Amino acid sequence: MEDKINDLPEKYWHCFIEKQGKSALMSGMTREELLSRVLRPLYAKRTFSVASMIVRDVDELDKIMITHNPNPSTHYEAPAGRVGTNRYRPKPANHRRIAFQKGVDHTQALVWDVIATPEDREELAMPTNKVFVVHGHDEAAREKVARFLEKAGLDPIILHEQANGGRTVIEKVERFGDVSFAVVLLTPDDIGSVKHGSVQELRARQNVLLELGYFMGRLGRDRVCMLRKGDVSIPTDFAGSVWVNLDDGDGWRGKLVKELQEAGHQVDLTALARY
């Protein structure tokens, strides 16, 4: 089945969903983006998102439709202009939706046929080797974890190393969050306390906590591992989640490998033995 997927056109792919009276459209994806951001988690019954709409199981959807259009959505974006003396040609309301609607429907083959075939579903549900690394200001900790993941045969995704493309931070997280596991570094970068409180505590950066919550919602708690450095506090909302002490020794490495393997990742133990 993987070969059949690879024979599909490289771009442009669109995914439309409806759920509880609301709809969302993710357009202009490459084949790999469609596979990693929508299809793999769908086959594996993992949480995924379409244009910020969270989907935990395909059964909760009223509708899902995947189409392919050889033309980019900009092909349908005609600028407004004068047609006659006093008439103007209106600009299309949504060129992305037009590109989706004019595409060839692949939903049956890519969704329902695969779901109905356990062997194909299991093959395509295998996790990617991409692991998102959420970090604060501790560059040494970030590099230590990222290089370890590389040695383990995985591909660490670090946000600031990815192209901005005019996106906001959260848009970049969504764009490059097509991963099947996230490692979150809780390092003592900030100091805070309750209002009027006298006791201050070490805290992780606010963006780290935001991205931690995002990936827990998107991937599930069992696919997120927190690496805690020092006495940094862990918010009570994350109590019960997996966290490992990022100690000065190598103890955290074995525990992280265990979590990765539990999530279905193939870890290169031979390479790690020489690391």
Per-residue model confidence as pLDDT tens digits over 54-91: 888 888 999 999 999 999 998 887 665 555 555 555 55
Per-residue model confidence as pLDDT tens digits over 115-173: 888 887 777 776 678 899 999 999 999 999 999 999 999 999 999 888 887 778 888 88
**Structural domain tally of the chain?**
2
Residues 8 and 108 both lie in one domain: yes
Domain endpoint, select from 77, 96, 124: 124
Domain endpoint, select from 74, 107, 124: 124
Q: Average pLDDT for residues 95-124, to the nearest whole number?
A: 89
- Computed over every residue of the chain, the mean pLDDT equals 85
Q: Containing domain of residue 154, as a range?
A: 130-273
Residues 83 and 214 both lie in one domain: no
Please list the alpha-helical segments (H only) found in the chain. Answer: 2-6, 31-34, 40-43, 95-101, 107, 113-115, 118-124, 139-151, 169-176, 206-219, 251-262, 269-273
pLDDT band at 6 (very low <50, low <70, confident <90, very high): confident
Residues 197 and 238 both lie in one domain: yes
Total-model pTM: 0.66
- From the list 90, 33, 95, the residue with the least C-alpha distance to 66 is 33
Residues 163 and 229 both lie in one domain: yes
> What CATH number should be reported for the domain holding residue 218?
3.40.50.2300
Residues 139 and 108 both lie in one domain: no
